[in-house]
């Protein structure tokens, strides 16, 4: 949830900066002569790239950009915060059929742990607010049916 806010906070300024640079060049684009450069020229040209990094651990791209003579403007925003244990528990329970965040919270409040939610009987599930006969059956079916995927993944 918090990562989306971080991305949104980062994206809006980037879009605005992009428009500031793009609009003037669009106005004059038709009047100016287009020129091309060789691959060797490309390495010598100064280039500007705008990035928004959120918890980046691999620096290969940035190292390549610097080697290719890019000037880097980094806009730092709130770094990704790991979800709380409660958010992780809600996420896991939300993976069950027909379980939204409200029902996930109801299940966790009533049964206390993800483990208890997953091991609950159909009757225990039905006793939770928002969980009826159909949803409790669907949950138990997903949790108890044998996994039988037919296709194989190679790799």
97-140, pLDDT tens digit by residue? 999 999 999 999 999 999 999 999 999 999 999 999 999 999 99
**Cβ count near 7 (within 10 Å):** 15
Q: What is the distance between the alpha carbons of residues 48 and 151, in angstroms, rounded to a whole number?
A: 46
155 within domain boundaries: no
Q: Do 70 and 104 reside in the same domain of the chain?
A: no
Give the global pTM.
0.48
* 121's tokens: 């009987």
121 lies in a domain?
yes
Let me know whether 97 and 44 are in one domain.
Answer: no
C-alpha to C-alpha distance for 116 and 112, rounded to whole angstroms: 7
Q: Residue 150 domain-assigned?
A: no
* Closest-CA residue to 125 (of 150, 144, 151): 144
Residue 149 lies inside a defined structural domain of this protein: no
Q: Give the residue numbers spanning the domain of 106.
A: 85-144
Q: Domain of 94: which CATH number? A: 1.10.150.20
- 37, pLDDT greater than 90: no
Number of domains in the chain: 2
Q: How far separated are the first and last CA of the chain, in Å rounded?
A: 32
């Amino acid at each position: 949830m918090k990562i989306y806010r971080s991305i949104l906070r980062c994206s809006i300024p980037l879009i605005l900066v992009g428009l500031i640079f793009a609009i003037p060049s669009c106005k004059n684009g038709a009047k100016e002569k287009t020129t091309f450069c060789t691959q060797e020229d490309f390495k010598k040209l100064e280039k500007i790239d705008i990035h928004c990094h959120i918890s980046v651990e691999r620096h290969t791209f940035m190292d390549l950009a610097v080697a290719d003579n890019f000037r880097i403007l980094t806009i730092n925003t709130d770094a990704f915060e790991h979800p709380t244990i409660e958010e992780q528990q809600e996420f896991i329970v939300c993976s069950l059929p027909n379980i939204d965040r409200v029902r996930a919270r109801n299940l966790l409040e009533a049964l206390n742990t993800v483990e208890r939610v997953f091991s609950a009987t159909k009757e225990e599930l039905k006793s939770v607010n928002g969980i009826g006969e159909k949803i409790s059956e669907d949950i138990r079916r997903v949790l108890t049916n044998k996994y039988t995927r037919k296709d194989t993944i190679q790799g």
